[in-house]
Amino acid sequence: MADDAPVLQAYGEVSPVRVGLGENARTRGVEMLNHVLAQTMALRDLYKKHHWQTSGENFYELHLLFDKHYTEQVDVTDALAERIQSLGGVAVAAGHDVIELSKIPRPPKGREGAVAQIERLLDAHEIVLEETRPLAREASELGDDGTNDLLVSQVIRTGEAQAWFIGEHLRKQIAK
């Protein structure tokens, strides 16, 4: 039975890897990245939920947009998880762990209207962006340029672009 299998590496611990960063910098980097990973996974899943459940006048346009953003968030989550592993850490990977670590509010199980979906996504993006910016600066201060670059070039830039796209769509919805 899988419950009897030995744990090879405990969550929160870093194994020695030769990447030119000390254990303290790697440990803090893994902690920061897992925090961002959990937020990003929650955002990713929110996009898929809305992709499946969108309806109404702009169904086709939103269905495609939400799926495009979902796919981009899949790439971001993969990059974050791989960076965690490359620093010698263990990436958070299960939904129940994401729920425990994420500050993004859980959406209702039911279908929401397009405006509510977009507002919920904008709120989630804002959480990710507000929490990632100081972590990117901290990574830089620790000398962890790889983590800083990942947070800025993929998490922040992707999030800002996606928030802009859906924000413009919201303005279009409200203008009607």
**DSSP letter string over 116-150?**
HHHHHHHHHHHHHHHHHHHHHHHHHHTT-HHHHHH
72 vs 27, 141, 154, CA distance in Å? 27, 28, 9
The whole-angstrom separation of Cα 89 and Cα 20 is 15
Lookup result for tokens 């968030």: 73
> Which tokens is 150 given?
């990942």
Lookup result for tokens 């509510």: 116
Whole-model pTM?
0.92
pLDDT at 1: 55
Given a cut of 60, whether residue 175 has pLDDT beyond it is: no
pLDDT at 173: 63
Q: What's the CATH superfamily of 21-175?
A: Ferritin, core subunit, four-helix bundle (1.20.1260.10)
pLDDT at 2: 67
- Tell me 8's DSSP state: S
* DSSP string computed for 73-122: HHHHHHHHHHHHHHTT-----SHHHHHHH--SPPPPSS---HHHHHHHHH
Weakest mean pLDDT among 6-20, 24-38, 47-61, 119-133: 6-20
Given a cut of 90, whether residue 135 has pLDDT beyond it is: yes
Q: What does the mean pLDDT of the chain come to?
A: 93
Residues 6+ apart with CB under 8 A from 19: 26, 86, 87, 88, 146
The whole-angstrom separation of Cα 44 and Cα 13 is 26
Given a cut of 80, whether residue 174 has pLDDT beyond it is: no
First to last CA, the chain: 57
Weakest mean pLDDT among 103-117, 128-142, 160-174: 160-174
pLDDT at 11: 85
pLDDT at 60: 92
pLDDT at 169: 84
